[in-house]
Amino acid sequence: MLVVNNPQMNFTQMHERLRLELLRRIQRGTLSVSLLARQTGFGQAHLSNFLRSRRQLSLEAMDRILTAQHLSAGDLLPAASRAAALAADGESSAVPVVSHAVALFEPIIRPAAVQTVLHLPGGVLKGLRARPSTSRRTWQRFVAVRIPSPDALPMEPLVLPEALALIDRHYNSLAPYRPNRPNLYAVRQGSHLVLRYADFLASRLVLRPHNIVFPVDLLEIDHSETPGDLLTGRVVLILNEL
């Protein structure tokens, strides 16, 4: 019913979006073909052929996979449809508040991953300059995350416990946004998201806290990565709760 009522996605497109989502989960290491086979009762060869675009699934098979992976048809909607669903009115910008893991790894924010929505005046996000790497250009641009107390301490008093950080994921460049003013970034440190100032020195990403009591961290850059791969995005706005 959802596919029929939404003119922006037909069955073929939904089928392909499911395939890409499963491949993304496999690449992240949160899913395997053998695990999906156990969850759904399908043979591994059957699933492998689907993942390699060698065969299509029936509606019943798609429903079984969606259920096994805790997905809904709405999670596969195009980004434009999701943005329209999130927007409260024409005078505000709606930004999804998500978990740290979603902000780090999810190119497109699924409705099920949205914890709440941050509504901002419509002009706040307009005109912000972007500097995305090629791979980041297709990502949904703005997300917000809540910063728990242990993660806020290195950035106090700039960031207080339970603050909301608005992240521009289309700015993962080390180029200064403003002259003589350091960018604050959301950075992937292992599988964890941290807020830090960042520089690149001697093949390492140098992460600097705001609170000088805390140490500077050095992140080794894997040969297959660039510094931008570890930068989730530039922090555009900090909303500290009073």
Partner residues linked to 218 by β-bridges:
206
What pLDDT shows up at residue 112?
A: 80
Mean pLDDT of 96-122: 88
What pLDDT shows up at residue 4?
A: 35
Residue that wins the pLDDT comparison between 44 and 73:
44
Spans of all domains in the chain: 2-76, 124-239
pLDDT band at 84 (very low <50, low <70, confident <90, very high): very low
Mean pLDDT of 82-103: 69
By CB atoms closer than 10 A (0-12, 13-18, 19+), residue 230 is buried
CA distances from 182 to 83, 131, 207, 230, 240 (A): 31, 15, 12, 17, 20
**DSSP states of 199-214:** EEETTEEEEE-SSTTS
Residues 2-76, CATH architecture: Orthogonal Bundle (1.10)
Each residue of 5-63: pLDDT tens digit?
444 556 677 788 888 888 888 877 788 899 999 999 999 998 998 888 888 888 888 88
Each residue of 189-221: pLDDT tens digit?
888 899 999 998 878 889 999 999 999 988 887
What pLDDT shows up at residue 108?
A: 85
What pLDDT shows up at residue 20?
A: 84
Mean pLDDT of 135-157: 92
Nearest CA-CA partner of 74 in 139, 138, 5, 172: 5
What pLDDT shows up at residue 80?
A: 46
pLDDT band at 90 (very low <50, low <70, confident <90, very high): very low
Mean pLDDT of 121-138: 86
**Interacting residues of 241 by C-beta distance below 8 A, sequence separation 6+:** 160, 162, 163
Number of helices (H), then strands (E), belonging to the chain: the values are 9, 9
CATH number of this structure's domain 124-239: 2.10.109.10
Angle at 133 between CA 85 and CA 148, to 5 degrees: 60
pLDDT band at 161 (very low <50, low <70, confident <90, very high): very high
Mean pLDDT of 163-191: 92
Range among 88-97, 105-114, 141-150 with highest mean pLDDT value: 141-150
Residue that wins the pLDDT comparison between 21 and 154:
154
The yes-or-no verdict on residue 136 having pLDDT over 80 is: yes
What pLDDT shows up at residue 170?
A: 95
Q: What is the mean pLDDT of the chain?
A: 83
